[in-house]
Every structure is written in C-alpha cells, then in structure tokens.
Amino acid sequence: MSFFVHPMGICESESVGDGTRIWAFAHVLPGAVIGADCNVNDHVFVENDVIIGDRVTLKSGVQVWDGVRLADDVFVGPNVTFTNDPFPRSKQYPESFATTVVGRGASLGGGAVILPGVRIGRGAMVGAGAVVTKDVPANAVVVGNPARIKGYVHEPVADDAIPVPSSATHEVALVGGARLLPVTVAQDLRGSLAALELGRDIPFAPARFFAVFGVPSKDVRGEHAHRRCEQMLVCLAGSVRCIVDDGSRRQEVLLNRPGLGLYMPAMTWGTQFDYSPDAVLGVFASLPYDGADYIRDYDEFLVLASAAGV
C-alpha cells in the first residue's frame, strides 16, 4: 500500500492517496475517498459518502458522516462534530443527506459543531466550541453559539508594505492599489463639515452614491468584488472595519471618522463588518448599478484575479 494503516486501524476504502496515515482505532468505510498526505488520528470514523482532499488533518474523536466534503489543507480539531440530517429520527433516513462543504485551508477548532448543509469558506477559522448554523465567508473568524464573525484572517503582507496608521493626512498605499485618502473636514462652534471635490479628491468620476446604515453589529456587508466599478468609502458617523483583498494579500482598516476615505479599485474583494450602532457608511461608485459587474463567489474572484495578473 502507498498509505499507512496502523495494525489497530481499519481502512476498507481503496481510494486513499499516497502518504496518508490512518492510526489506531480509526475506521474508514469502503465508499470514502481520502486524498494524499492526510493524517487520520486515533478514534476517527469516516463514513461512505465522504470526500476528503489532500493534506487534511483529522484529530482524535472526529466522525465524518455521509455528505461531508473537506477540501485540501483543511484542519479538523479534536472532537469536532459534523451533522448531516436536520431532523434526525432513529431508524428513519432521509432520501439524501445534506452536503456540508469545508473550503480549502479552513480550520475547525476543537469541539466545534457544524450543522447540516453549511458551507465554510476557504481559509476560514472556526473557534473552539463554536456552533456553526450558517455559511461562513472565506477567511472569516467565527466564534460562539451561534457562531458570529469576529474578524478576518490576515495573511502576511510584503515586508515593504506600509502599516495602516490610526490617522492619515496623506495617502497610504494598501494591497492591490487600494488607498487611504484624506477627506477635508472643517470644524467650528456651529458643527463639522466633511467635503470632497468630485473632480479632485476622488480618483474617479462618481456615477452613483449610496449610504449604508442601521446594520446590526453581528452582520457583514460587502463580501464581493467588482469587475469594472471603483469605489470610495467614507464613514460619515460611527465606525466600521473594512477588509481589502487583492487575491493574494489582505489588509484590514478601521474607518472611524469622516476625515478618512478608503479607495477600492476594480477587482478588489471588499468586506465591511463590525459596524458601530450609529455607523453611516457613504459609498461613491464610478458606475451605475449593474448586477453583472458583481463577483460574489470568492473562489471565482481568485481565478479572475489570477488571470488578470492582479
């Protein structure tokens, strides 16, 4: 065999990749497909209708039931619980089990519970003990019961990348051509005023403006890229955290005053989260609304960004 099975382990499947290791008291049923260089620890059970990619780690006490799909490089911590039937009854089986997908490079912390049919995006991090009841976006960090987004995974950036300061009076370069830009603010006893000269202070000619407000702090907006449209974001009140992602690097910025704008060129994956209760986010866009301009699937964005050489 090109893979290893401990003398006290049972592997009935013939679809196991090179270099995979199946340890004591683990049991793999005949229909399971397991990729190369995986590590299946003690006391793991893998059912029939299961597909596991390459370099996946299953720590002790994990049961992978029918309908579960684990992409390459997934880490499943000890005693993670997958489920596949939303209304389980003893000796009563559904026509088909729900399909649960864990994207490439995602990690599931020890004791997490994954409900049937959810999709966990690539690179996501599920905290220990979290109960995942809804889809998790790519690169999101979720914790709690029910699991909520608390942040996003930040991949290392180039050594010469300029750190994002807490305040800026000049342009600050971010990944993928995104930039922090100063916005003129005037203050006196009568109040405050933020002003943008449309032909000077915004890197494009705006064709549309909209405002986002009343967002519960637990919710996330954005989570898409535009094929052609450019945007500039200004937080007019309160605060909001923004992710800019060019497909290979990712940075987070805090917009917490009207004197700071975030320019996002086309083909930048953007996410906004952690809205304060009073947040009002103003957005200038270079094009009128066009649903076809949106890229809402992160994996599709990665393919298109790579093809475009972003």
Classify 91 as helix, strand or coil. coil
**CA neighbor of 117 nearest in space, from 72, 66, 79, 77:** 66
- Residue 43 annotated in active site: no
100 burial class (0-12, 13-18, 19+ CB within 10 angstroms)? buried
Q: Cα(237)–Cα(239) distance, rounded to whole angstroms? A: 7
Q: Please list, residue by residue across 134-148, b when 16 or more beta carbons sit within 10 angstroms of its beta carbon and e when fewer do.
A: eebbbbbbbbeeebb
Cα Rg of the chain (Å, integer)? 23
Q: Which token pair is 307?
A: 């093809």
Q: Which token pair is 193?
A: 């005023």
Q: Cα(226)–Cα(291) distance, rounded to whole angstroms? A: 10
Classify 299 as helix, strand or coil. helix
- Phi and psi angles of residue 150, each rounded to the nearest 5 degrees, phi first: -110, -10
Of the candidates 6, 27, 154, 224, the residue annotated as catalytic is 224
**CA neighbor of 162 nearest in space, from 150, 145, 174, 154:** 174
Q: Are strands 57-58 and 4-5 parallel, antiparallel or unpaired?
A: unpaired
308 burial class (0-12, 13-18, 19+ CB within 10 angstroms)? exposed
**CA neighbor of 213 nearest in space, from 122, 277, 164, 287:** 277
Sign of CA dihedral 105, 106, 111, 116: negative
Q: Cα(129)–Cα(51) distance, rounded to whole angstroms? A: 24
Q: Which token pair is 248?
A: 């290979």
The residues annotated with a catalytic role in the active site are 224
